[in-house]
Amino acid sequence: EIVMTQSPATLSVSPGERATLSCRASQSVSSSLAWYQQKPGQPPRLLIYGASTRATGIPARFSGSGSGTEFTLTISSLQSEDFAVYYCQQYYNWPSGPSGPFGGGTKVEI
């Protein structure tokens, strides 16, 4: 079973600052990792897949990096619309076991 752990649980950032979110896998998931953004009352939105490829329509200020067990989502200059919860998801080992493919999320707050 692969367990996905995100840190920190909450990240307090000012608009215009850089935000760095981490996602760690308990064993290698190669580059089979996606990032999602979720705002209150909305469904998740795909941001990044393949660890570093931006999904269609995602601004360039969002970037993903990493492979194996350590991954990072970076928001280069936070805009007001970026304050949300961010989830990572592995799709390397599936079905992924009782802990599921998603990390627990990081809330980015002002």
Partner 1 sequence: EVQLVESGGGMVQPGGSLRLSCAASGFTFSSYSMNWVRQAPGKGLEWLSHIDSSSSMKHYTDSVKGRFTVSRDNGKNSLYLQMNSLRAEDTAVYYCARTVSPLYFQYMDVWGKGTTVTVSS
The residues that touch partner 1, with contacts defined as CB under 8 A, are 32, 34, 36, 38, 42-46, 49, 55, 87, 89, 91, 94-98, 100-105
CB of 64 to partner 1, least distance (A): 12
Give 18 or 94: the residue with its C-beta nearer to partner 1: 94
Give 66 or 103: the residue with its C-beta nearer to partner 1: 103
Q: CA 19, CA 83: separation in Å to the nearest integer?
A: 10
CB of 76 to partner 1, least distance (A): 22
Please check whether residue 11 is in contact with residue 55, taking contact to mean a CB–CB distance below 8 angstroms.
Answer: no
Structure token pair of residue 86? 């961010």
CB of 10 to partner 1, least distance (A): 13
Structure token pair of residue 28? 């290698």
Q: How many angstroms from the chain centroid is the CA of residue 61?
A: 14
CB of 14 to partner 1, least distance (A): 25
Q: What are residue 16's phi and psi, to 5 degrees?
A: 90, -20
Q: CA 76, CA 97: separation in Å to the nearest integer?
A: 34
Give 42 or 80: the residue with its C-beta nearer to partner 1: 42
Give 19 or 85: the residue with its C-beta nearer to partner 1: 85
